[in-house]
Amino acid sequence: MNIDKKKRFEEFVRRIQAADNVDSAASVLTLIGETLAVVEDEMTDIPNEPENWQTDGRMYPPQADNAREVENRPDLVRYRSRGHNTLIRDNGAIEIKDLQGNVLLSKPGRDGDGVDYEQE
């Protein structure tokens, strides 16, 4: 069983939106990682082998080596992926945008504040 990646991503977004808001960057990274692993385990037969991320077709969470500082925003980290950017704010807010700037996921932190960042 290998369900289309688009449908798996939609399910990931649905579950993240349904989850409780969190209060830190570390907590939202944990939420992303755990949610994505469960979705991929349920919807594919692809083993969780992060070293094969380029070729196996499984979705993996943002990795520390792809973290980038955001100019004039010490509260925000941008994780660059193949087709999108994941923005994580220190209050637990998350936003995923495709490379054209379209928002694919937006969820505020527990304090109710979002990412509030416009890509250039």
Q: What is the pLDDT of residue 32?
A: 97
- The answer as to whether 82 is a domain residue is yes
CA distance 58 to 26: 23
- The answer as to whether 48 is a domain residue is yes
Nearest 5°: CA angle at 110, between 72 and 30? 80
- The answer as to whether 98 is a domain residue is yes
- The answer as to whether 117 is a domain residue is no
Q: What is the pLDDT of residue 23?
A: 97
Q: What is the pLDDT of residue 119?
A: 60
Please give the residue range of the domain that contains residue 10: 5-107
Q: How many domains does the chain have?
A: 1
- Ranges under pLDDT 50 in the chain: none
Q: What is the pTM of this model?
A: 0.90
Q: What is the pLDDT of residue 107?
A: 97
- The answer as to whether 120 is a domain residue is no
Whether residue 50 contacts residue 44, with contact meaning beta carbons closer than 8 Å, is answered with no
| Angle at which helices 5-18 and 25-43 cross, to 10° | 140
- The answer as to whether 118 is a domain residue is no
- The answer as to whether 97 is a domain residue is yes
CA distance 28 to 113: 14
